[in-house]
Every structure is written in structure tokens, then in C-alpha cells.
């Protein structure tokens, strides 16, 4: 398979978890490179649903090495409970199939408290974060006051640094009207988690290079989506990491020239959870999908905002990530729609945009220019080959891939592994 980066081409929740699970079959190593437990990757295997937040979805398959890279912010308590959950499902998680980077940054309770307090302070201008402390944890990393995994697993270092950090953060929390934290209880909980994680902690840069030398194929598992990228997304309505393909290099220590291919995942329509512009948002399609029981957040349970497929966004995503191949998911979500709209440009006054404008206020003032496609109005969930899809569904899938400037590679018609059509 060669080294492959998989990214979301929209605002997250494109169905990456499922496509990663399918592609993992051909990979030896799966690496998470950015984000934290704000992510929620839903994977269905043999009718059983698993939601993963930190551990790469590759863990569900035997003999795959799963790595949390240095670019991730890791909530150790969350990670330990995710590992326990997997073991309850009979999935082995051992130092042989799972490694955690010693330089990944640690998410601590004050990050979560600050995330919540800042959101509250923002009021109407809130970002709609997952409140997992992601922004404040990356903020500490950039401000060079973060705690890394190698300090977490050393009780003496953890105690010293945590005492300092809690002191400063308690002052901030108090000024924001939030409750201060107790060093004693935070230390007890995080030290315990650190000791449980210790056997898994490694220099993952060296590990990945050893693996490559031995001929391993690596799959880089993106989290969130292109337009939640801190640099390339709809700032400030973004997450705090580089979710795009470049993040795979910085977040793992594997250099750019070792990357062979970029796969983009996109839904056959558009969704977003949280605040911020969503040009093709449409209440009818939102209602339709929610009434089908679809499009509720995997991490927070919030209903996702839904809209028509936005080719301006996906074309932009192809550009920024260098997407070669596309996986289109949730094609079956449009099975009952009579006429399907696709946004091919934005207009604002006399200006037309073929890519997403950088200023969210400009973006908010844009109206989509649509083209329409006839719906296929037939169930696709049982289709197993591209030929079995209704002709109109094939035409739609091909058209949105073309409009996104990338090759159609996979069409997915349901959450199961078997509902994956290779084109
Ligand atoms: P944060 O990452 O929790 O700070 O949230 C920032 C923004 O990114 C919010 O709009 C979240 O809803 C969104 N977000 C974060 N993680 C995900 C994800 O995995 N899927 C979809 N949206 C996400
Ligand atoms: Mg998700």
C-alpha cells in the first residue's frame, strides 16, 4: 500500500474511521498524528459499534501496530479508559501493538476547565468546542509550558511541574469565575494513569523509522477535517491542530518525501458540528438526515448541522492536502432525495469564489451557486460493486469527485466493512 495519509476533506466526521478500518487491512502500522479525544471515530465490525477517540482504529485488527504520534494531545485518563473499553470487547492492547509518543503533550483537568470557562465567556461568539481541553493544551504546547508524556510517566517530574502549573492555572480559573483544582487529587489520578501507560511509551519517531526500514507500510490517520485545521480552516471556528496532510509529517516525524499517497474522505453531503460558517447548510436536509437517525456527534452526541455537498470546500481540500484519491461516504444518506444540489462556487456581491475565502465574515456573507442532480431514489445499502449502484448514484459520485479535482476511489453505502465499494 505504501505510506498513505488519510484526511477529512470537510469539517470532520466524514467517516474516516470506517475508511481507515478498511485500508488498515493493507497497512502494517497505523499512526494518529494530530488532535486529541475531541475526535470520535465510529467503526462497525460484525454489527458491533466501537467509538474510538485516541487510539487508532487499526487496533480493531490483529497484528497491526498502532501509534499515537508526537502531534497528538493525549488525555491519559481518557486513554486508559479507552484501553479498558477495548479489552472488555476482547481486543488486545499490549506494548506489542500499541505505542504512545514520549513527546506527545498531555491534556490536564485545567485545560478542560479553561476550555469550558472560555467558551462561556465568549457567549454568542463561542466556537462550540468539544470541551475536551484541546485548545488550552495546544496553547500550552505553543507557549512552552506544556507537560509531555515523558514527564507524565515520571512521578517526581510530574509532581513538580503539576504543582507549578496548577498554581498558575488556578489563578486564571478563579479570575474567570471557575472553580480551582486540587493538586492532590489531580496528581493522584494522573500519576496513576501515567504509570499505567508507562509500558507503552516510546520514542515513536525512531520506532516508525525502524518500521519503515523493515519495509512496513504506514497509514496516517487524520482526525477532524481540513476546515477545522488551525491554519487552513475557517479560523477561529477550528480546532487547535494541523489536521491537514502536512500535520502527518510534523505530528509523526516521518518526512514528506516518505509519503506516497493522500486519500481524502468526504461525505456525499456536508456536515459540521459546532459553530462557524457552513455555506451550504440546509434545514430540510438536516431534518431528513436526523429523522433517519443519522448525523449525531460521536463524541458529544450533538446533532450535526447538515447541508448540500460543497465542491468549493472539497476542491480547496484537494489543493491543501494534495489529495490523490477520494472516498465518498454516506452515499446512502441521499437515497430518498428527489433532486440533489451541489455547490460549485460561492458568490458575494459581484465576486465569485472558487476556493474558500480566508475571512470568516466574508465567507458568512457568501451564497452558494448550485447545480442540481437527479436523485436515484432507490436503496444503495446492499450494493457491493460500483456497477450495482443506480446509474444516477454513479453519475453523482463521479461528478462530485471530478468537481473536487481528485479520483474516485471508494464509495461507501453504510457503516459496515462490507458496504465499501472500490471503484
Ligand atoms: P475542539 O477541537 O474541541 O477545540 O473544538 C473546536 C471545533 O472543532 C468545534 O467546532 C468542534 O465541534 C470541532 N471538532 C473537534 N473535533 C471534532 C471531530 O472529531 N469531528 C467534528 N468536529 C470536531
Ligand atoms: Mg467524528
**Phi and psi, residue 410, nearest 5°:** -135, 140
In ligand 1, which atom is closest to the CA atom of 115?
4
Model pLDDT for residues 313-324, shown as the tens digit of each residue: 999 999 999 999
Q: Could you give the CA distance from residue 227 to residue 82 in angstroms, rounded to a whole number?
A: 27
Task: Spell out which residues line ligand 1, taking CB within 6 angstroms.
Answer: 12-13, 38-40, 127-130, 132, 134-135, 223-224, 228, 237, 239-240, 273-274
- The rounded Å distance from CA 223 to ligand 2 centre is 8
pLDDT band at 301 (very low <50, low <70, confident <90, very high): confident
- Would you call 290 helix, strand, or coil by DSSP? helix
Stretch 1-26: mean pLDDT, rounded?
93
Whether cis (ω within 30° of 0) applies to the bond prior to 236 is yes
22, containing H or E segment: helix 16-24
Q: Could you give the CA distance from residue 231 to residue 243 in angstroms, rounded to a whole number?
A: 9
Sign of CA dihedral 406, 346, 292, 51: positive
- The residue whose CA is least distant from atom 19 of ligand 1 is 39
**Domains in the chain, ordered, with CATH?**
4-103+200-262 (3.40.440.10), 105-197 (1.10.300.10), 266-422 (3.90.170.10)
- Would you call 310 helix, strand, or coil by DSSP? strand
Within 8 A by CB and 6+ apart from 125, the residues are: none
Model pLDDT for residues 219-263, shown as the tens digit of each residue: 999 999 999 999 999 999 999 999 999 999 999 999 999 999 999
Within 8 A by CB and 6+ apart from 102, the residues are: 148, 149, 150, 153, 201, 202, 203, 204
- Would you call 233 helix, strand, or coil by DSSP? coil
First-last CA distance in the chain: 16
pLDDT on residue 49 = 79
Contact indicator for 238, 21 with CB cutoff of 8 Å: no
Contact indicator for 261, 3 with CB cutoff of 8 Å: yes
127, containing H or E segment: none
What does the DSSP 8-state code read for residue 179?
Answer: P
pLDDT on residue 89 = 86
Nearest to 152 by CA among 198, 100, 184: 198
- pTM for the model stands at 0.96
| 156 Rama sector, left if φ>0, alpha if ψ -120 to 50, beta otherwise | alpha
Contact indicator for 80, 196 with CB cutoff of 8 Å: yes
What does the DSSP 8-state code read for residue 296?
Answer: B
Contact indicator for 40, 235 with CB cutoff of 8 Å: no
DSSP notation for 30-81: EEE-SB-TT--EEEEETTEEEEESSS-GGGGSTT-EEEE-TTBEE-HHHHHH
Model pLDDT for residues 382-421, shown as the tens digit of each residue: 999 999 999 999 999 999 999 999 999 999 999 988 999 9
Average pLDDT for the chain: 95
Pocket test for ligand 1, best of 13, 224, 225 (most atoms within 8 A of CB): 224
- The rounded Å distance from CA 345 to ligand 2 centre is 26
Nearest to 66 by CA among 48, 82, 47: 82
- The rounded Å distance from CA 34 to ligand 2 centre is 14
pLDDT band at 1 (very low <50, low <70, confident <90, very high): low
122 C-beta neighbours (distance < 10 Å), count: 14
Amino acid at each position: 500500500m505504501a505510506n498513505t495519509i488519510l484526511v477529512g476533506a470537510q469539517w470532520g466526521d466524514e467517516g474516516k474511521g470506517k475508511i481507515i478500518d478498511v485500508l488498515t487491512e493493507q497497512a502494517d502500522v497505523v499512526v494518529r498524528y494530530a488532535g486529541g479525544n475531541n475526535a470520535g471515530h465510529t467503526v462497525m465490525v460484525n454489527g458491533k459499534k466501537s467509538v474510538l477517540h485516541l487510539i487508532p482504529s487499526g487496533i480493531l485488527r490483529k497484528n497491526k501496530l498502532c501509534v499515537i504520534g508526537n502531534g497528538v494531545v493525549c488525555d491519559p485518563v481518557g486513554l486508559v479508559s479507552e484501553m479498558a473499553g477495548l479489552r472488555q470487547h476482547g481486543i488486545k492492547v499490549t506494548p506489542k501493538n500499541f505505542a504512545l509518543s514520549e513527546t506527545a503533550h498531555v491534556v490536564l483537568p485545567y485545560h478542560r476547565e479553561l476550555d469550558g470557562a472560555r467558551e462561556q465567556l465568549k457567549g454568542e461568539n463561542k466556537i462550540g468546542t468539544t470541551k475536551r481541553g484541546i485548545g488550552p493544551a495546544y496553547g500550552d504546547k505553543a507557549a512552552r509550558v506544556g507537560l509531555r508524556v515523558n514527564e507524565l510517566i515520571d512521578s517526581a517530574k510530574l509532581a513538580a511541574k503539576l504543582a507549578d502549573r496548577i498554581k498558575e492555572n488556578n489563578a486564571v480559573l478563579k479570575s474567570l469565575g471557575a472553580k480551582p483544582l486540587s493538586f492532590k487529587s489531580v496528581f493522584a489520578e494522573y500519576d496513576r494513569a501515567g504509570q499505567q501507560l508507562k509500558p507503552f511509551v516510546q520514542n515513536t519517531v525512531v520506532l516508525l523509522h525502524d518500521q519503515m526500514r523493515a519495509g512496513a507500510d504506514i497509514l496516517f490517520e487524520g482526525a477532524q477535517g481540513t476546515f477545522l485545521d488551525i491554519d487552513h480552516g475557517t479560523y477561529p471556528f477550528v480546532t487547535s491542530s494541523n489536521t491537514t496532510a502536512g500535520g502527518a509529517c510534523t505530528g509523526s516525524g516521518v518526512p514528506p518525501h516518505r509519503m506516497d499517497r493522500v486519500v481524502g474522505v468526504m461525505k456525499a453531503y456536508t456536515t459540521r458540528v459546532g459553530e462557524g460558517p457552513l455555506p451550504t447548510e440546509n434545514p430540510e436536509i438536516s431534518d431528513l438526515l436526523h429523522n433517519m437517525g443519522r448525523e449525531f456527534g460521536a463524541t458529544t452526541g450533538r446533532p450535526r448541522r447538515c447541508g448540500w455537498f460543497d465542491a468549493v470546500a472539497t476542491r480547496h481540500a484537494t489543493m491543501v492536502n494534495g489529495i490523490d484519491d477520494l472516498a465518498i461516504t454516506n452515499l446512502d444518506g441521499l437515497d430518498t432525495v428527489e433532486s440533489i444540489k451541489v455547490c460549485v462556487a460561492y458568490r458575494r456581491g459581484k465576486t465569485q469564489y472558487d476556493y474558500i475565502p480566508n475571512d470568516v465574515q466574508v465567507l458568512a456573507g457568501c451564497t452558494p451557486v448550485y447545480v442540481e442532480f437527479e436523485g436515484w431514489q432507490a436503496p444503495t445499502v446492499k450494493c457491493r460493486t460500483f456497477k450495482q449502484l443506480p446509474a444516477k448514484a454513479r453519475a453523482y459520485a463521479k461528478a462530485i469527485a471530478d468537481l473536487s479535482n481528485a479520483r474516485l476511489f471508494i464509495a461507501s453505502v453504510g457503516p459496515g466493512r462490507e458496504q465499501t465499494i472500490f471503484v
